[in-house]
Amino acid sequence: MVKATFYKSVMPGKLWEVCFDYFYPINIMEKQLDIIPLSDWIPKGSSPLVISGPCSAESYTQVMDVARKLAAIPQVRVFRAGLWKPRTRPSAFEGVGEVGLQWLKDVQQETGLLTAVEVARPEHVEACLKNNVDILWLGARTVVNPFSVQELSEVLKGVDIPVMVKNPLNPDISLWLGALERLNQAGIRKLAAIHRGFYYYRHALYRNQPMWEIPIELQRQIPDLPVICDPSHICGRRDLLLQVSQKALDLEMAGLMIESHIDPDHALTDANQQITPFDLETLLGSLIVRQTTGNKEFETKLEMLRREIDKMDAELLDILSRRMKIVDEIGQYKKENNITILQIRRWSDIIFDRLNLGSRIGLDREFLLQMLQLVHEESIRRQEGIMSPGEIMNPEMEKFQEEKDSLL
């Protein structure tokens, strides 16, 4: 497992403030899933692909009004609506349930939009299949529980229907991968992932932290898997939707899921993050849709620059290797002289000096803090091994060692 530490800010009087730690596995091998391309199960249209609709279906009139307006927006090809809402408190609105499925049939017939519904229980799946819902999705609260995902996978065996999988609430890429793998093993080949951000226990800018590196790692491990971004749940507020949507497109995500309501201020759920169809159309018109490849001249220059980066990376790794050899030498010297591994004053001096040096040459302070923390943790681990070579590793380190050995 790889431990990554995020830093909120460098404040006057504070060296750094740690927001949270999370663990996710880095696997150098790509996952082999049998996936049908997105273009084979969602109609082609204007870019970017947009899935939109209310957080919750509240009434027939509300659903049809918003669907009609969304159908007039070229990028919108799928109408989403929550029928069963997994609310934290039982007093909150928990959805209209199966009655909403008939409303979605009318959406299909009148607008031609595909329909998508969140399912959390086998009976939800059965009801959706009976009423010809086009696409299902698994929500974050469901994906966090492998037992629930397995139950849904069992009921979907032999069914040819697209399924989208939201990331789990907690930043654990293994749970996300596991849900996709369970569905694929059940025969679901029309798969997509939805990046909706991750829970963060402190007050922050976003409702759910984007942690873009996690969906990027998912795409690296499963290159054929389309990843759709859900800016609504990441932002939790309307004024951030444009910048998050643009970043998602710049990171080559396959589309956007944005919640839209005919009267957002009076929505029964997640009112602050929903926008009107008019505002959605305005937002989409403000996005810059970039190309994934360029002309021959562009590609030639890009390849030349990438080769320079490859050379520099090799140099960085060589320097890092030589640094660790000196760390080992220091560890042995400390052992021979019965000196503690951690020297707080030295570590504080390193942080202060490297941050100042890095800032002067244009490096981001938060990036530097993350890098220094990781290097320091590895240095401590190596010196612990020198001090106590026969000591039993803690469970996290033991699991990391097992995974590392399996890749060699």
Structure tokens at 398: 């033991």
Please report which confidence band the pLDDT of residue 89 belongs to, taking 50, 70 and 90 as the band edges.
confident
Q: Is the dihedral of CA 408, 227, 244, 208 positive or negative?
A: negative
Range with the largest mean pLDDT of 29-33, 201-205, 263-267: 263-267
Which residues in 15-84 belong to E strands, given as ranges? 18-24, 49-53, 76-80
pTM, entire model: 0.78
- Choice between 285 and 17, residue whose per-residue pLDDT is larger: 285
- Predicted pLDDT of residue 68: 98
The span from the CA of 175 to the CA of 147, in Å, is: 11
Please report which confidence band the pLDDT of residue 71 belongs to, taking 50, 70 and 90 as the band edges.
very high
Strand bridging mode 2-7 / 18-24: antiparallel
Distances (CA, A) of 49 to 76, 306, 328: 6, 30, 52
What average pLDDT does range 182-201 have in this prediction? 95
Q: How far is CA 69 from the centre of its chain?
A: 29
Contacts of 100 (CB under 8 A, 6+ apart): 57, 63, 81, 83
Which residues in 113-241 belong to E strands, given as ranges? 114-119, 135-138, 163-166, 191-195, 227-229
Domains located in the chain, CATH noted:
38-286 (3.20.20.70)
- Choice between 209 and 10, residue whose per-residue pLDDT is larger: 209
The span from the CA of 114 to the CA of 378, in Å, is: 50
Query: Where is average pLDDT lowest: 117-131, 225-239, 385-399?
Result: 385-399
* Cis preceding-peptide flag for 48 (omega within 30 of 0): yes
The span from the CA of 194 to the CA of 163, in Å, is: 10
Determine the residue type at 143.
V
- Predicted pLDDT of residue 272: 96
Closest alpha carbon to 6 in 288, 14, 17: 17
Please report which confidence band the pLDDT of residue 25 belongs to, taking 50, 70 and 90 as the band edges.
low
